[in-house]
Structures are given as C-alpha cells and as structure tokens.
Structure 1
Amino acid sequence: MTGERSSFDVVIIGGAMIGSAVAWWLARDRDFDGSILVIERDPSFEFASTSHTNSCIRMQFGTKINVAISRFGLEFIGSFREFAGEDAPEIHLDDFGYLYLARDEPAADRLRTAQALQARMGAGTKLLSSGQLRAAFPFMRFDDVILGSHNPGEEGCFDGGTMFSEFRRRARKMGVEEARAEATGLRMAGGRVTHVELSDGSSVACGHVVNAAGPRAATVAAMAGIVLPVEPRKRYTFIFEAEDKLPRRLPLTVDPCGIHYRTDGGLYMAGCPPETDGPCDAEDFEMDHAIWEERVWPALAERIPAFERIRLRNSWVGHYAYNTLDQNALLGLHPGCDNLLFANGFSGHGLQQAPAVGRGIAEHIIHGGWRSLDLSPLSVARLVEGAPLTEAAVI
C-alpha cells in the first residue's frame, strides 16, 4: 500500500485542498528533509468539499485573523508562480467582489464594525448607502436595504482547481507519497499517536499526524479520544442562465433573505443552506429540488427583476465542515495529544484559507510553532479553554 516504507515523519489524513497544501508547504521547505504520506479515501475527490466549492476569496470577515489569512491568500493567488516556480501556471482571480446587504440597524452595525476592521488591515471595503447602492447597481432593488458593504478588486472567484492540482503534482515530484485508503484508527501511547491504522489492514508509524479530513474530521479526532465539534452540513449550489444579461458583473451578493448569488462567467451562480441547517451524513449528497423553485428563484427575481426569466443549467450539493463552536477553523496541536495537529472546521472557508493554513501547519511541524503568520487565535486549544472566537460572516 505504501511501497516498502512503513514509517513516515508526517502522515496527513485527507488529501483534498487542505491536506495537499500542508504536504506541499512541508515538502518545499528547506528546513524539512523528512518523509510525508498523504492518506486519501477517495483519490477521485468526487465528493470532497474541494470539488464542490464555489472557489471564492474575500476580505469581508469580522475577525482580525480571518482578514489576515485572506490578505495572504490574495497575495498568494497573485504571486503563485513566485511561490511555486516559474513553470507554474498563473492563478486567475475574477475580482467581482462581495456585496453584503443589511436590512436593519443591528445588521448595519455589524457591517460598519467589520468594515472598520477590514480598513485598518488594508482592505478596500467600502460602505454604500441605499442611494449609493442604487446608483452602482441600478438593475437591483434595494427597497428593504439600508446599508451595503462592497470590496471590488480584492475579492471574487479564483481558479482553486488549478491551485489544488498544482499542490498535489508538485508535492509528488518532491517525494510526497500517497495512499489510497481510509484511516480507521490511531494507535496511542504516552499521549502520542504512534501508528495510523488503514482500511486495508496495514498500519504506518508516524512522527506527526495531521487531521485534514474535512467533514469527517470528528471521526478522525475520536480515534484519539478527542471530541471535535465539526460536522458535515449541506450547501446547495445552482448554476443558471438569464434571458436578459445584467449590464455588469454581479458581485457575490449576500442577501438578507439567506441566499447568495454572483456572476459565473457568462452564467450566474446561486447558493443557500437547507431550510433547516443541521448535520447530515457524510455520504448524503441528495439534492432538494424544490428549494430552487420555492425559495431561490423567487428571491432572485425579487432582488433582480431581470432574473424573472432564467433557466437552471446545473445544481449540486456540497458539504461544509461546520464548526459548531464558533464557525472558525480549528488549527494546531490539541493539549491532549502532542503530535496530532488539526486543520479542520473551516465552515466554508477552507479553499481560500488553504495557502495560509498549509504554510502554518507546515511551520508548526518543522519549527514547533507559528512563524509567518500567528494563527494562535484559531488554536484548537480553545475547545479545552472554552474560549470561542465567533465569526459572524459565514455564508
């Protein structure tokens, strides 16, 4: 299964975007000369969250650490060839921006507070009154909106698929090995993971283990006796075309009604959670077809009259790895195990946070702590400390 090797310095459970980012950052670091194994249960990634993502990045978060992570993510996208090599492809960013809408004063106050934070950190987010919104987006109705928040130029959709494939391809060239298997157990001794047990009956000894199992992260954590508040939650995506195209690109608009929508090349994309947003089975990708006709389309037509005449072209279901504690990533070592690192619970932000988190986890393994960017506010230790860091800007 793993060739002749039965021991690795680092074993990464989960080979999608986060796991691949960790492997790539590790392998490229001159201070690391160890062996790396990535364990992936489904190397086709057909049902991975990475494959169902909308592949966006934004500055508009409400916590300082998430804005900092996005600032690096934007830099990484724009300078990918400098990080990966001159032979790497460029990563395209379609910077249509995000547009958050508030219909009442509490929501408007949250936008004002968040915009002030983002501006202090160098982001170009601007607040727009209802009149300014109408002038900027005359094809939209804002009768129920009192304030908007928009950041053109630094937010949008990037080519996450190419970034992911380059992480994997380049990591393999640098010696990272991959195993098509499922982690079924963690063998423990003295507060450490000594072996990762696999579905084919074999096991591998390990120096460090990284839990990058996405929506299945809690299952992996439980193998070490750790309770992780991460669960799979469904998110629906719809691709549609409009009979009457809009005169400009549509920002990713986070509507107070609970749906979001944006430009998608020559088409448009909309998304939403289920009516009852709760945990689902990790194997459950069943689509609720009624939600398009009964909820999404009416809301689109109400906000944008041109969307009264649209045609659904495609739809799918993906899973958030939803952190029920505070909707923020859970990163680093758990106090209960001194060689098991977590990179979980991104609650829909994993793809855009992968560059910073992959680098951070790699540095933690090599140097014993965060180096380039202090990710300690997202430490998994806050589970034990009872110190949530709530991120309100979750779509």
Structure 2
Amino acid sequence: MFCRRSFNFCCKVVSHKRFFHKTLRLGSNEPENPIWRTIRVLTNDIAPKKQKNEEYVTGFIEGGGAIGSSIAYWLKEKTNFHALRIVVIEKDPTYAKCSTALSVGGIRQQFSLSENIQMSLYGAEFLRTLKKRFGRDADVNFTPHGYLVLASRRGASQLVDNAKLQKELGAVNTLLGKEGLKERFPWMDVSDVELGCLGLEKEGWFDPWSLLCMLKSKAISMGTQYITGEAVDFTFRERSDIIVEGVEEGYYEGLNEVVVKLPDGEHKSIQFAFCIIAAGGESGEVAQLARIGTGQGMLSIPLPVEKRKRYVFGFNCQQNGPSINTPLTIDHSGVYFRRDGLGGAYICGLSPAPEDEPSTENLDVDYKYFDDKVWPILAKRVPAFESIKVANAWGGYYDYNTYDENGIIGPHPYYHNLYIATGFSGHGIQQAPAVGRSVAELILDGDFQTIDLTRLGFDRLIVDKPMYEIGIY
C-alpha cells in the first residue's frame, strides 16, 4: 500500500487544488493554449538535424494495449488523422501476456464512483457505434446479459445507494429481494443473500481482443506508428519558459527524449512534445525512469501501479445449470461466474486476499486455489455446481493501483508534458474508450470536455484523497 506521509515541498497544496505549472507565450504573461504549445514545440524544439538512431515525434505512448491504442486512436480522430505524429511503443506485438488479451471482457455500470459509471456508460455507447467508426464488419461479440451483483444483509444498504447513483447517471438496473431473485434465478441459493442488483441495459461482456485490434488498426490507418521495443530511460532538458510552483525559476527540467530498447538490443532515442504512460502493470517501473518516486518534492511520490496475477477458471455443467441468458453474477464474497458460449461452459474467478497474492514471475495457474477458495462458494451459491471440475484455466495481469484500486488518469503535476493512464485494477478494458477520449481532450483541448476525471488524477496521491469503490468487486 502506498505510504501516506507529509512532504515538505516548497510549494504547498491549498484547498486540494492541483499543483500549477504553465507555459508562457513568448512576450506575454498569459498561459499558452496546449494545442498551440504542441505546434510550437514541433516547430521550435524539434528543429535539430536528426542524428543516427534519433527520431522526433509529437506524442509518445508507452504501452500498446487497449488503453494506449485508444489514446492513439482518439488523438488522431480529434486532429483529422495527420496533424500529430504519434508513436506507440509495445514490447510484445503478439500481446501474449497483455492484460487486454487475457481479460474476461466485462462491461458494467455497477460502480459507486460517478467517474467509473460514466466511463462505462460511454464504453457501452462506443461498442454500440462500432460499425460507424470502424466499418460494417466491426464486431466484438457483445453479449448483453447484464451483471447481477449480490449483497448480504451487511452490504444491502450500500447496494441500494450504488444503484440509485447509477440510475441518476443514466444506467438501467433493478433491485431484487430474496423472492425476486429466486423467482428470476431458480438455480440460486439465496439463503444468505439480502438483495441483488441486476443491470438491464448496456451491461454484459465482449471480446477484448477484437476491440484492441480495431483500435490499433484504425490508429495505424490514420498514421500512428507502432514500434516493438520498451522504454529503458528518459533524458531531460532545462526549460526556462516553464514555471512550476516550488521550483526555482530557471531550474525546471522537463522530459525531452525516451530511450527505447529494440528487439535486437539497439537503443533508439525519440524526442517528443508529450509522453503518455499507459504501460499497464509496468507503468510504475516506467515512471521511475522519469524520476517519479525517486526525485525530490513532488517527484518523491511514486506511481503506485504494479502487476498482480489473477486466475480465470473454466468448467462445464451440462444439467440444471444457470440458463443461457444468465448475467455475469458477482457473489458478495467476490466470486464471479458467467456462461461462456452456447454449451454448458462457464468461467469464474476470485481476486485473492492480500495474504494469498500469487507470484507474478509467470502466468502459471494454481489449480488448488480453485479447489480451496472458489469452488466452495460456487457450490453454495449454485447447487448444480456441486460436482464441477476445472476444464481449463489461464492467468492474466492486472495493472493494480495499490493506493485505491482505481485508474490514475491525467497530467503529472510536475512535468508539463507527461500524462498518465494506468492503474485500472481490472476495469481497464471497459474504460478504454472513455480514457482514450479523455486523455486526448486533456492534450488537445487543455481540459476534460466530456467526463470530468479530475478526481482520478495523480494529485489525489499528493493530497491523500483516495477514490475508493464501496461495495464493488
């Protein structure tokens, strides 16, 4: 867990406002519009003659999964394809261990934070309009069977509060008591369930791989360049035209270049106007290359994102199991399950308790975890699952935010040209369309235009204002 402590910054946080930095127009005291700053950086700062293994781009994105590819897509979409030169660095173009490719692909509005509800609502709208954006063959196999979140007596009042907020923001759901649950889902043991919330629209699951491929292919068709490699270092440059609170004038250093290690071991330097860290579970390590968590003042606060391994188990139940239109069901213990295809196949999982966190050295599956932790709860909730056995399984990584388990989205308070989009802790695939649009708005418009995600910024780490989900798994 992120260490909460007081920092003796030269600059103080007043009324929880974000740290202030601005770029001044030459000969003026007025802040410069971000898009014109980008153009000026291109024309003035990226003027030197290219040297061997050097490249100059407008924007650099570390991470080519769903989040990074969505940002690349939206930057191109908002600037008519060719106004910005965007480069995405992805170390594994096969995405064999990518969180996106190994996700179960759920989308729901059943959250307690308004930002997460709004992002998911937009994610559903984005999926609905895929053919308009990507062509008539665009399809992610969306299965609209909804989510069913169960609550015990202890969690029932919170479930009511969550459902009320979701409805206020445009979600469509219904609350079901014991009798309503038993009538609608006769296969369920409701003896220890007080209440359930069933999403009726815009919830279900889809194929994450298809969405990633669409975003990436469209971004490439609009001029984005994908490079196989990984960031191994950043270079810095003094910027006298930028003023940052707490930093003596003339001593501010901004990010200037990223050093990328290519598959053959060669190192390539890429100078950029702005950089986005969207590297999933490796984002915290990338941030350290930019002195985040190792520097002074604001830079002493790390990006609290790391890899966490999660298991997905598959099993079969051919007789008397939940029907084909069964929603993705989340037990009040945290165990979830859903149908997987048209046969009697299901998938399930459970995020481990802190003391049970598995090693992230590999994606090997611990089948004993299913027998000891998952199966007993499944068998209690669905008696038809009493005799099930694991048929298949896989492991995947979460980009886990150890501070409050929610995404960190927005500019870094120290660097004028660094943005962050990571730490989604399992919810990234459904939030990717909204996150991509929001980050593009920040860069090109100077602020959030559609969904205000200010509360999910890095600043909450500085002022110690965590954004916890309540009663949500």
| Distance in 2, Cα, partners of 1:30 & 1:236 | 40
- 1:19 Cα shift? 0.6
Give the secondary-structure state (helix, strand or coil) at the position aligned to 2:417. strand
Deviation at 1:278, TM superposition (A): 6.9
Amino acid aligned to 1:185:
D
Where does residue 198 of structure 1 map in the other structure? 260
SS in 1 for 2:190: coil
Q: Which whole-Å CA distance do the structure 1 matches of 2:101 and 2:61 have between them?
A: 19
Contact 1:60/1:393 (<8 A) preserved: no
Alpha-carbon separation, structure 1, partners of 2:97 and 2:135: 32
Q: 1:42 is aligned with what amino acid?
A: D
Which of residues 227, 231, 240 is equivalent to 1:183? Answer: 231
Deviates more, 1:136-145 or 1:89-98: 89-98
Question: Which one of the candidate residues 362, 383, 386 is aligned to 1:305?
Answer: 383
Maintained 8 Å contact 2:309/2:359: no
**How much has 1:277 moved relative to structure 2?**
5.5
* Shift in Å, 1:308: 1.9
Separation in 1 of the partners of 2:269 and 2:467?
36
CA distance in 1, matches of 2:215, 2:162: 32
SS at match of 1:373: coil
The residue aligned with 1:236 is 311
Report what 1:356 is aligned to: 434
* 1:314 paired residue number: 392
C-alpha distance in structure 1 between counterparts of 2:166 and 2:398, whole Å: 25
Q: Which residue identity does 2:278 align to in structure 1? A: A
Question: 2:90 is matched with which residue?
Answer: 40
Q: CA deviation at 1:217?
A: 0.7
Aligned-pair CA distance for 1:252: 1.4
Q: Cα distance, 1:270 vs. partner?
A: 0.4
Deviations 1:106-161 (A, max 9, x none): x1111011011011112112111111111111111010111111112321102222
Q: CA deviation at 1:279?
A: 6.4
Query: 1:248 Cα deviation (Å)?
Result: 4.2
Match for 1:12 among 41, 52, 61? 61
Q: 2:114 aligns with which of 49, 53, 64?
A: 64
Aligned equivalents of 1:30, 1:207: Cα separation in 2: 16
Aligned 8 A contact 1:236 1:274 in 2:
no
Q: 2:151 aligns with which of 102, 114, 121?
A: 102
Residue 21 of structure 1: aligned partner: 70
TM superposition score normalised by structure 1: 0.94
Change (3 A) 1:23 1:278: farther
SS in 2 for 1:123: coil
**Partner SS, residue 49 of structure 1:** coil
2:29 — aligned with what?
none
SS at match of 2:286: helix
In structure 2, what residue type is equivalent to 1:202? K
Q: Flag the 1:207–1:280 CA change in 2: closer, same or farther, 3 A.
A: farther
Note the alpha carbon deviations across 1:318-339, whole angstroms, 9 max, x for none: 1111112221110111111111
Following the alignment from structure 2 to structure 1, what is the Cα–Cα distance between the partners of residues 139 and 189?
37
- Change over 3 Å in CA distance of 1:112–1:277 after alignment to 2: farther
Give the fraction of aligned pairs with identical amino acids, expressed as a percent: 36
Question: Structure 2: 5+ residue runs without aligned partners?
Answer: 1-51, 239-252, 293-301
The answer to whether the Cα contact below 8 Å between 1:233 and 1:277 also exists between their aligned partners in 2 is: no
Question: CA 1:69–1:45 in structure 2 vs 1: closer, same or farther (change >3 Å)?
Answer: same
Counterpart of 1:274 in structure 2 is 352
1:389 maps to what in 2? 467
In 2: Cα distance, 1:9 partner to 1:100 partner: 44
Does the 8 Å CA contact 1:215/1:282 hold for their aligned counterparts?
Answer: no
Structure richer in strand, relative to its length:
1
CA distance in 2, matches of 1:270, 1:249: 16
CA distance in 2, matches of 1:170, 1:278: 40
8 Å CA contact 2:309–2:360 kept in 1: the answer is no
Superimposed CA distance per residue, residues 225-247 of structure 1 (whole angstroms, 9 cap, x where no aligned partner): 22111121121101111131433
- Cα deviation code 1:44-81 (max 9, x no counterpart): 11111111101010010001111111111111111112
Query: Does the alignment pair 1:326 with 2:395?
Result: no
User: 2:78 is aligned with what amino acid?
Assistant: D
CA RMSD after TM alignment: 1.9
Partner AA of 1:210 in structure 2: I
User: How many angstroms does 1:92 deviate by?
Assistant: 3.1
Q: In 2, are the aligned partners of 1:40 and 1:178 still within 8 Å (CA)?
A: yes
Say if 1:128 and 1:361 are closer, same or farther in 2 by CA, change over 3 A: same
Letter in 2 for 1:99: L
Secondary structure of 1:51's partner? Answer: coil
The residue aligned with 2:45 is: none
Contact 1:234 1:277 in 2 (8 A): no
Structure 1 SS opposite 2:79: coil
Corresponding residue pairs, total = 391
CA, structure 1 residues 356+277, in 2 after alignment: closer, same or farther (shift >3 Å)? farther
**1:129 corresponding residue in structure 2:** 177
Question: For 1:214-233, what aligned pairs fall within 5 Å after superposition?
Answer: 214-226=280-292, 227-233=302-308
Q: Aligned pair 1:208/2:270, yes or no?
A: no
1:165-208 deviation digits (Å, cap 9, x = unpaired): 01111111111111111101111223321000112322110111
